[in-house]
Chain A
Amino acid sequence: MLLVDFQKQLDHFSLEMQFELDREILALVGSSGSGKTTLLNCLAGIVHPDVGTISLNGQEFFSGGQKPLKIQKRKVGYLFQDYALFPHLSVEQNILYALSRGTDVSHITELTKILGITGLLGKYPHQISGGEKQRVALTRAMAVQPDILLLDEPFSALDDANRDRCQDELLRIHEKWQIPIIFVTHRIADAEKLADRILRIEKGQMTEQTVY
């Protein structure tokens, strides 16, 4: 269970978030610059709130007045906008980057099959398409078996066919792994297709919550 209740002052407004999330898929919608990515960054530990609390499955990520939990200890899978694949490493090296030798990689082998990227393992990021990058980045995020998955505009660079395919794959991953997933999107259709709940954020405020 993810518990979020915090405030963070941004340049032009204050980001104020309060919600709970079980093993569901939550879509964040809202106009650009409304604070959606900052929310993901706060959950991942890249930036920190000013006051409040964030906890996941009883583990405190942030609690006002205490030292925030390090990013490395949060077990967060984060798919950045534009995917941020390491350009000097092959697809396989990207996916296995954080794993030490001898680690059981059966879940990764399965993921590469589900996502259809087995044939890309020897290639470099600049040699693969946008849709392939997205699937590689998703596999990489899942490789460390995270307790929560954060996706920042995961479908924005994809054409319709690739978008549908990636969305179906995300649903399969969620069904199998059963972890909370939060994704940012501009397309309400994506949110309606995938999410159990939709949270609209405007100028840092939660303006609307839809539960399906």
Chain B
Amino acid sequence: MMPYDLSPLWLSLRVAVISTFFVFLVSLALARLMNRRDFFGKSFVEALILLPLVLPPTVIGFGLIVLFGVNGPLGILLEQWFGFRVVFTWIGAAIASFVVSLPLMYQSVLAAYEKVDPRWENVARTMGVSEWRIFRTITFPLAWSGILAGLILAFARGIGEFGATLMIAGYIPGVTETVPLAIYFAYEAGDMEKALFWVVIISSLGVAAITWVNYWRKKTAIRIGRE
């Protein structure tokens, strides 16, 4: 028998998986746009994407409450259209994870795209192949190792998100209690054993993820080779 209720672990995994899924889709599209197009205000847009990297988590949490709170513009829309609230729910935790992990994934994907030689795509174009098929069969597979590294980073960042999550989702045991929140409140309550238990769990996940990424990168580099 496990000594503690494992619901914080399952909730953290659910939050991180869902936020990473959306981070993946948004980053692929955003990085593609920024990699291929020049437009007025591009630097400003890029600064906005990367902003969560340099902002204190409390600022991000505050911004999310303003946007998604019961009186916030997006909060009102979501409640009217889909009938759900973001504040004090696990969805709020997922949105906080999304915002903080997006810049990490975006940077990884952008770097991965930049490593794909544009000549490969141009060759495919001269052969009459559509842009979507070129992306699917050339760009994405050749950028995959960088994209995967970004995914793991985003997932790890998502699972470890604390500050903004606390502000928008609060601490409701069994509802919004993720592993980082469980650690903090166990420590606050003086339950060092419980805090240590969760520290070991989340650290093990982090080490496993990074080890696997490094192994995968080497393996993929050998398999693909270079001209």
Contact = CB atoms under 8 A, between A and B. Distances in A.
Contacts of A45: 125-126
Contacts, number: 71
B123 to A, nearest CB: 5
Chain B facing A: main interface SS: helix
A172 to B, nearest CB: 22
A154 interface: no
19 contacts: A44-B122, A46-B122, A71-B126, A72-B128, A76-B126, A78-B122, A78-B126, A82-B119, A86-B138, A86-B142, A88-B141, A97-B137, A98-B124, A98-B129, A125-B227, A126-B225, A126-B227, A127-B225, A133-B227
B70 to A, nearest CB: 49
Contacts of B124: 86, 97-98
B226 A87 contact: yes
Residue of A85, A86, A127, A133 with most chain B CB atoms under a 10 A cut-off:
A86
Contact of B227 (A74, A77, A82, A98): A82
A73 B142 CA distance: 25
B122 A72 contact: no
Nearest to A74: B126
A80 to B, nearest CB: 5
Closest 4 pairs between A and B when the two form their complex, measured CB to CB: A126-B225, A98-B127, A71-B125, A84-B119
Interface residues of B, number: 20
Given A72-B125, A86-B120, A88-B141, 14 more contacts: A45-B125, A71-B126, A74-B126, A76-B126, A84-B123, A85-B227, A87-B225, A88-B142, A97-B129, A97-B137, A98-B129, A127-B225, A133-B227, A140-B123
Q: Is the interface of A mostly helix, strand, loop or mixed?
A: loop
Interface size class of A (residues with CB under 8 A): 20 to 34
Interface of A: 44-46, 71-78, 80, 82-88, 97-98, 124-127, 133, 140-141, 143-144, 146
